[in-house]
Amino acid sequence: MASPTVSAPKREKDPKKRVVITGMGLVSVFGNDVDNFYSKLLEGESGISLIDRFDASSFSVRFAGQIRNFSSDGYIVGKNDRRLDDCWRYCIVAGKRALEDANLGSMVLDTMDKTRIGVLVGTGMGGISVFSNGVEALVQKGYKKITPFFIPYSITNMGSALLAIDTGLMGPNYSISTACATANYCFYAAANHIRRGEADIMVVGGTEAAVMPTGVGGFIACRALSQRNEDPKRASRPWDKDRDGFVMGEGAGVLIMESLEHALKRGANIIAEYLGGAVTCDAHHMTDPRSDGLGVSSCISKSLEDASVSPEEVNYINAHATSTLAGDLAEVNAIKKVFKDTSEIKMNGTKSMIGHGLGAAGGLEAIATIKAITTGWLHPTINQDNIEPDVTIDTVPNVKKQHEVNVAISNSFGFGGHNSVVVFAPYTP
C-alpha cells in the first residue's frame, strides 16, 4: 500500500477519459476459457510439452507450449477455418470470446454506433504457416501454384481486419508489430484512441502461432531457446540460475477496453481499470537488452506518470521474465531502479508455465494480471529451484500466494529493443 508519507498523484476523474476493462478472451495452451486458464496457472501447472504438430526429431529444440485440440466451432465458418493461418484463427476466437464476455454479442453490437468501436490486435510474426507454405509452393511447383490467400493471410494486419469484417466494427483498425512487446503496444495505443475521444470501445490484444518448423528453426538459429529436451516442463525457469533460454508458446489474449462513460451508460460489468502505459526503445542491440536497464526503467517510470501513480502504490508486477540469461536480470535491475523499496512488491513470471507467446504474450499476461486483481491470488513462478542472488523481490516461487493488488504493472519487451509497460488497478467508481 502507499506509504503515508508519500502523497499519490491525482488520477484521471473524467469518465470520458477513464479506460476500463469490460471483457476478456483468450486462446491458450490451457484452452479457451479465462477462468480455467487462470486456475491452471494458480495450480502451477506447466503447459510445456514435446512438439507433435510436425516432426521435430531432427531439431535441437523439440518442445514448446503447443496448443492442442483447438476448436473454433461457433466462431469461424468451416471453409474459412480450413484456409486460415492459426494466427488468425486464435485471434478471431479470442476476440469474439472477449466480446461475448463484455456482453457485446452481435445483437447488442447491432444497436450501437459501430464506427465508434475499433479493433487493434497485433502479432509479431503474422501468418507464418501460410507464408512458409507459399514459399514452399513457389520453390517446388512454381508461382502459379501459390494460393490467392498467400498475401492476405500472411500480412500482420489481417487479424484486426478479419475480426472487424466478421463483427462489422468500423472504428480505428490496424495492427502493431513490435515482436514480443506487441500486445502491450496495442493496449497503450487503443487506450489513447479512447482517451482522445476517437472510440468508445476497442477490441485489443495480441495473437501468435509460430510453433511450426520455420518459427522454431528461426529461434534456434537466434540461439534464444532452452534446450532442456529431456525435461520440457522444467525448461522455462525465470530468474533461476540454471535457466538456458526461453520456451516458445502461442495463443491469443484480447481485452475489451472501454471508456468508463460508455461502460456505465450500457450497464457493463467493469472488471478492472487501465490506468496508463508507456513505450520506449533501448536503441542498443537487435536481441540483447541494455545491461543498465535504462530503456526499461524509463518505460516503467513513464507508464506510472501516464497512469498518475506513484511507485509506492505498485505492489504487483507481472514480469516479462522470459528465462533468458541476460533479459531476466536486466529487467530486475530496471525494476529496482524505479522501486526503491520492493519489500511490499510481489513479482511473477507467467511464461514459466505457458512459455513465451511472442506477440500474444502481453495479451495473455494482461489477463493473468487482471485475474490477480479480481481474485486476490497470484499464480506462482514455477521451477524456482536456485534463484539468482540479485533477485531480492518475492517471485512467488512454486506456490500461489494470496495478495491484495493495489496497482499492478505488466511488462513486455521485444527484439529490436522495444519496451512496453501497462498499468492496471481494481476499478473504483
Q: Which residues are catalytic?
A: 180
Phi, psi values for residue 308, rounded to 5°:
55, 50
Q: Check: CB of residue 96 under 8 Å from CB of residue 25.
A: yes
CB 210 within 8 A of CB 250: yes
Beta-strand relationship, 407-414 and 314-318: parallel
What is the Cα–Cα distance from 305 to 369, expressed in whole angstroms? 20
Chain centre to alpha carbon of residue 389: 28
The candidate with the shortest Cα–Cα distance to 309, out of 284, 280, 283, 273, is 273
Helix, strand, or coil (residue 420): strand
Cβ-contact 192, 17 below 8 angstroms: no
Q: Are 28 and 41 in contact (CB under 8 A)?
A: no
Determine how many CB atoms are found less than 10 A away from the CB of residue 385. 12
Cβ atoms of 22 and 270 within 8 Å: the answer is: yes
Cell numbers linked to 227: 534446450
* 380 φ/ψ angles, rounded to the nearest 5 degrees: -75, 165
CB 95 within 8 A of CB 89: no
Cell of 38: 487462470
In 12-116, DSSP assigns E strands to 19-27, 49-50, 63-64
- In 282-370, DSSP assigns E strands to 314-318, 346-348
